[in-house]
C-alpha cells in the first residue's frame, strides 16, 4: 500500500520540535539545528513560524529556544486523553506471548491492588487470576509494588505490609517479585508504570510456574517487563528524575 503523501516542509520543521521534546530543555539555535540535522540558517525561519503559533518560545527574544505555551497545552490535552489501562491492554497481550507467561494489569482499587486485565500465556497457571481479584500487599509482587510507591494508601488498609528490606529492594531494582508466595509453585514479577506526576498508576505483572521463572537481574523476563513499563510511563508523560 502506497504511503499517503505529506507536506515535506512540515515534516522537516517538525524535527526541531522533536529535538526540543527529546532534550526537555531550552537549546541554543546552533545546538537545536544540529540535533534536527540542518543548518542554523535553515532552522531559523521554521522557529520564527513556530514562535508565532506558540509552539516554540525564545528566552528574551535572543536566548535559547524552548517549547511554547501551545505545545504545553497540546501535551496536557494529550495526557488527559490517555487511559493508562487502555494503553496497557495491548501491551500485556504482547508480553504474554513474548514471555510465555500470563501477564496481568493491576491498579489501585478500594481494597488494594486489583487485577483489571489478564492476558493468558501459553503456560497454564493454577491460580485464580480473574478481573477484580485483590492482591495481598505483602505476599504478591503486585502488592509489594503498590506498598512501595503508594505507601500511605497501603498503610491505611490495615493489612500486613512488606518489610523495610523488601521495600528498599523493590525501589532499587524497579521491580517486585514473589516466589512460592501465596501459592506454592507459582512465582510473579511486577514492574511499575508511572504517570506525568510520578504516581504509580498500574503494575504489569507476569505470573508463571516457579520452575523456569527467572527473575535474576539480567534475565529476559525482568528486563522485558521493565522496558515495557518504562515505555508506557513515557507515553503517560513520566520523566524520571535525572
139: domain CATH number is 3.30.450.40
DSSP letter (8 states) at residue 217: T
Q: Are residues 93 and 193 in the same domain?
A: yes
Question: Which has the closest alpha carbon to 227: 85, 125, 98, 113?
Answer: 98
Q: Are residues 42 and 110 in the same domain?
A: no
- Could you list the residue range(s) of the whole structural domain that residue 217 is in? 82-235
Does residue 137 sit within a domain?
Answer: yes
- Total domains present in the chain: 2
Does residue 3 sit within a domain?
Answer: no
Q: Are residues 88 and 76 in the same domain?
A: no
For residue 22, what is the domain's CATH number?
Answer: 1.10.10.10
Does residue 2 sit within a domain?
Answer: no
Q: Which of 53, 80, 107 is the last residue of a domain?
A: 80
pLDDT in tens, 81-94: 558 888 899 999 99
pLDDT in tens, 32-79: 999 999 999 999 999 999 989 888 998 877 789 988 888 777 765 654
Number of other CB atoms surrounding residue 117 within 10 Å: 19
The pLDDT value recorded for residue 110 is 77
Q: Report the percent of the chain where pLDDT is more than 70.
A: 91
Q: Are residues 93 and 181 in the same domain?
A: yes
Q: Are residues 72 and 93 in the same domain?
A: no
Does residue 168 sit within a domain?
Answer: yes
Report which secondary-structure segment, H or E, holds 202.
strand 200-209
Q: Which of 80, 113, 136 is the last residue of a domain?
A: 80
Q: Are residues 27 and 95 in the same domain?
A: no
Report which secondary-structure segment, H or E, holds 70.
helix 69-81
Q: How far apart (Å, rounded) are the C-alpha atoms in residues 59 and 63? A: 5
pLDDT in tens, 184-238: 778 899 999 999 889 999 999 999 888 878 888 778 999 999 999 999 999 888 9
Of residues 4 and 197, more confidently modeled: 197
Report which secondary-structure segment, H or E, holds 83.
none
Which triple of cell numbers denotes residue 16? 526541531
Q: Are residues 193 and 108 in the same domain?
A: yes
Mean pLDDT of 113-129: 76
Q: Are residues 103 and 207 in the same domain?
A: yes
Residue position matching grid coordinates 508480553 = 95
- Residue 142, SS3? helix
Q: How far apart (Å, rounded) are the C-alpha atoms in residues 149 and 142? A: 11
Does residue 122 sit within a domain?
Answer: yes
Question: Which has the closest alpha carbon to 149: 206, 191, 97?
Answer: 191
Q: Are residues 156 and 214 in the same domain?
A: yes
Does residue 34 sit within a domain?
Answer: yes
Amino acid at each position: 500500500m502506497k504511503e499517503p503523501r505529506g507536506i515535506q516542509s512540515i515534516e522537516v520543521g517538525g524535527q526541531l520540535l522533536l529535538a526540543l521534546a527529546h532534550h526537555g530543555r531550552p537549546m541554543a539555535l546552533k545546538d537545536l539545528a544540529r540535533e534536527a540535522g540542518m543548518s542554523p540558517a535553515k532552522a531559523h525561519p521554521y522557529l520564527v513560524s513556530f514562535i508565532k503559533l506558540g509552539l516554540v518560545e525564545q528566552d528574551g527574544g535572543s536566548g535559547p529556544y524552548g517549547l511554547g505555551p501551545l505545545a504545553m497545552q497540546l501535551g496536557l490535552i494529550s495526557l488527559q486523553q490517555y487511559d493508562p489501562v487502555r494503553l496497557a491492554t495491548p501491551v500485556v497481550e504482547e508480553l504474554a506471548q513474548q514471555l510465555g507467561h500470563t501477564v496481568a494489569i493491576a491498579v489501585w482499587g478500594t481494597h488494594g491492588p486489583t487485577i483489571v486485565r489478564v492476558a493468558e500465556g501459553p503456560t497454564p497457571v493454577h491460580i485464580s487470576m480473574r478481573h477484580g481479584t485483590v492482591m495481598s500487599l505483602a505476599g504478591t509482587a503486585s502488592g509489594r509494588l503498590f506498598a512501595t510507591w503508594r505507601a500511605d494508601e497501603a498503610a491505611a488498609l490495615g493489612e500486613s505490609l512488606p518489610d523495610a528490606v523488601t521495600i528498599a529492594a523493590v525501589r532499587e531494582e524497579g521491580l517486585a517479585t514473589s516466589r512460592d508466595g501465596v501459592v506454592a509453585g507459582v512465582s510473579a514479577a511486577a514492574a511499575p508504570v508511572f504517570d506525568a506526576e510520578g504516581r504509580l498508576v498500574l503494575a504489569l505483572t507476569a505470573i508463571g510456574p516457579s520452575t523456569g521463572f527467572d527473575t535474576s537481574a539480567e534475565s529476559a523476563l525482568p528486563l522485558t517487563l521493565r522496558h515495557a513499563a518504562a515505555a508506557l510511563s513515557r507515553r503517560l508523560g513520566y520523566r524520571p528524575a535525572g
